[in-house]
Amino acid sequence: MARARRRKASKSESAEKSLSATAIVGLAEKAQLKLFHSPLREPYASLWVKDHWETWQIKSPAFEEWLSAMCYFQHGGVPCQQTLGAARNTLAGRALFGGPEERVYVRLSGHKGAIYVDLGNGSWQAVRITREGWDIVSHVPVKFVRAPGMQAMPHPTDGGTIDDLRPLLNLPDEDQWKLAVSWLIGAFRPDGPFPILVVEGTHGSAKSSCAKMLRALVDPNMSPLRAGPTNLRDLAISAANSWCLGFDNLSAVRPALSDALCRLSTGGGFSTRLLYTDGGEKIFEGMRPMLLNGIDIGIERADLLDRTITLSLPPIAEEARQTESELWTRFEALCPSILGSVFDAVACALRRRSDVTLMKLPRMADFAIWVCAAEPALGWSEGSFLKAFDRNRADANAVALEGSSLVQPIVRIAERGPWNGTPTELLHELAEELDELGQRLLPKTPRQLSQELRRLAPNLPASGITVAFGKTSGNNSERVITISKSGDGATLRR
């Protein structure tokens, strides 16, 4: 019998056997790798690729692909998955316990008075916006990271005007146009707060197209509008992976989601338990621009309505309709110059915001000042945005009052003169008023009544009513609620 020939190992197999996890870590160190961790203790690496720096989470598939490619180019083969995993764990440990702490950003960041916007292209370029204007830079002083689904923005160009966007959006009047543009300009303010843009309309009003175009100018994504989050974990992940969030075809906003959207709009954190763990958390702390889209979203909670800008789109007449492909071809052709005009307005806001003084600060005051500072670059007369904003706020306030069964009986109580008492006493008083009105919709407990009144209190002055909360004096103090007509000098019961 002939002696079996021993098969010669391939170059790839030899590399797989010779490359240990320690050897892979050594290769990575020679590739100008910078290891660090975020404030949430997530390990990252900045690596030099061709002529630019890229930042990736060490435990991401993209970083593993880079490690595999580096091994192949250096040794002609790729180590096994177990070895790669061990190398990644080693680098992650060094980033956590030996690397500095640095913040990472998605799409947009402020830095030393300038705003940087990640273009999302293969060269990792960004737009730098300063008081003097904007330019495109290849080396960025902040750590941008990218999530799956993030798409590149077009290179902005000079010479455009924001008015080129107007024919593409089915907006009914000047107020709605100014509100849409104000949300767009506000979305490039790195430190928030951000009003929530609500786009409502019947079937055939192009509300989804409107929302998609606005998001495409801020933070383009493969899935620009998604179903509403079913839990806080989904919302936290979406906020961590995108600068702008878009939710499509909402018909209602549950109380838990409403509270989370409020925190995401004006600042605050929320956390949820990680899957398959008992103690781990997914934490998000910060603010994000948001879009909500639906026929009638039905937001009734006053605190969420207080943070919204609502666009109401009319149905499009049959003779004015066009195909979606035609609409998007026009948008893509105009997008670079529109984006350039948006950045001109943002630069104007940076230059003028410290000089803007408002006689009366509205809700979302920082956002309002920012947009007022950008008015000259938008071709708007001074104060025209605030007028549109105030009218929209008045509409939202009316919706909040109409959505609560407490308003009518509270008005009746206040008209009889200042009233004060405990939440329990007020619950009985309201029950009697509602009984006379033929209604029965009341909070079930005094605690729930107090919570609903606190949410409604900022909206009631529009109806001439003031609600105040306090306590009686002494060791056995009680919670007391005072209801009065605005201007009445009511005092708390002692």
User: For 351-369, how does the pLDDT look when each residue is reduced to its tens digit (9 = 90+)?
Assistant: 999 999 888 888 889 999 9
Give the residue, 430 or 378, on which the prediction is more confident: 378
Q: How many domains does the chain divide into?
A: 4
Which residues share a beta bridge with 470? 480
How much helix, strand and coil, in percent to the nearest 5, is found in the chain?
45, 20, 40
Instruction: Look at 435 and 214; give whichever has higher pLDDT.
Output: 214
Which of 3-12, 110-119, 139-148 is predicted with the least confidence, judged by mean pLDDT?
3-12
Q: Are residues 211 and 336 in the same domain?
A: yes
DSSP calls for 270-330: EEEEPTT-SS-EEEEES---EEEEES------HHHHTTEEEEEEPPPPGGG---HHHHHHH
In this predicted structure, the answer to whether residue 294 has a pLDDT above a threshold of 60 is: yes
Q: Tokens standing for 371?
A: 């947009």
Q: Where are the alpha helices (DSSP H) in 172-271?
A: 174-186, 207-218, 232-241, 255-266
Shared domain for 422 and 294, answered yes or no, is no
Residues 64 and 124 in one domain: no
Give whichever of 29-33, 104-108, 444-448, 456-460 has the largest mean pLDDT. 104-108
Answer whether residue 213 is part of any domain.
Answer: yes
Residue 489 banded pLDDT, cuts 50, 70, 90: very low
Residue at token pair 């079996």: 4
Q: Are 266 and 378 in a shared domain? A: yes
Asked whether residue 153 is domain-assigned, the answer is no
The amino acid sitting at 242 is: S
| 109 and 93 assigned to the same domain | no
**Are 378 and 249 part of one and the same domain?**
yes
Residue 89 shares a structural domain with residue 115: no
CATH of the domain at 201: 3.40.50
Mean pLDDT of the chain: 86
Could you give the CA distance from residue 153 to residue 216 in angstroms, rounded to a whole number?
8
Which alpha helices (DSSP H) does 322-415 contain, by range? Answer: 324-352, 365-378, 384-402, 407-415
Question: Chain centroid to CA 199: how far?
Answer: 15
Say whether both 317 and 391 belong to one domain.
yes
The answer to whether position 1 is within a domain reads no
pTM score, two decimals? Answer: 0.85
- Residues 71, 210, single domain; the answer is no
Question: By residue range, what is the domain housing residue 198?
Answer: 162-399
Instruction: Please report the pLDDT score of residue 301 as a whole number.
Output: 77
Flag whether 441 is in a domain.
Answer: yes
Query: Looking at the structure, do residues 415 and 319 belong to the same domain, yes or no?
Result: no
Q: What is the CATH number of the domain that holds 431?
A: 3.90.1150
Residue 232 pLDDT > 90: no
Provide mean pLDDT across the span 263-276: 70
State which of 375, 399, 423 marks the end of a domain. 399
Given a cut of 90, is residue 449 above it in pLDDT?
A: no
Radius of gyration of the chain (CA): 28
Task: Give the model's confidence band at 309: pLDDT under 50 very low, under 70 low, under 90 confident, else very high.
Answer: very high
- Select from 350, 373, 399 the last residue of a domain: 399
Strands 196-201 and 308-313: parallel
Please check whether residue 152 lies inside any domain of the structure. Answer: no
In terms of pLDDT, which residue wins out, 27 or 176?
176
Q: How far apart are CA 459 and CA 484, in angstroms?
A: 14
Residues 432 and 465 placed together within one structural domain of the fold: yes
* 103 confidence band (pLDDT: 50, 70, 90): very high
Give the number of other Cβ atoms within 10 Å of residue 7's Cβ: 7
Pair 431, 312 in one domain:
no
